[in-house]
Structure 1
């Protein structure tokens, strides 16, 4: 995984793999997902990151169990 913050463009990019991006889709204002040739999400881009994060220069990374009690919004299938 690779995380890059470009302060000049105020864009935070997270790449999950080094596979080539075949398609991108803006799923919400300022939130873009990257897909590989099989339609799998391989990255995301957060535009105007400094407005949406407390500090785009810093992040916490940990390994352990996911928080299954975290509130999850209702997901609707677009098909």
Structure 2
């Protein structure tokens, strides 16, 4: 699993596996599921992430050895 945070876009993306994405569904405003051809979840994106998660979440992420995508 990879977790990427794009600071400029304030988007947090969690990718669970490398299966190709067949479909993306916005299940709630700013929450997007990426599905493979078998409707299995392969990714999950949160827009406005800093507003959705408590501040403690950021410190937990910082302590983990996660992959952070560079801001564009």
Partner of residue 59, structure 2: 58
Match runs of 1:36-75 below 5 Å: 36-55=36-55, 57-59=58-60
Q: Tell me if the contact between 1:20 and 1:36 (Cα under 8 Å) persists in the aligned partners.
A: yes
Write 1 or 2 for the structure with the bigger share of helix. 2
**Which ranges of structure 2 fall in alignment gaps of 5 or more residues?**
62-72
Runs of 4+ in 1 over 4 A off after TM superposition: none
TM-score between both structures, scaled by the size of structure 1? 0.69
Q: 1:21 to 1:10 in 2, by over 3 A?
A: same
TM-aligned CA deviation for residue 20 of structure 1 = 1.2
What's the Cα RMSD here? 1.5
Higher relative contact order (CA 8 A, sep 6+): 2
TM-score between both structures, scaled by the size of structure 2? 0.75
Match runs of 1:2-17 below 5 Å: 2-17=2-17
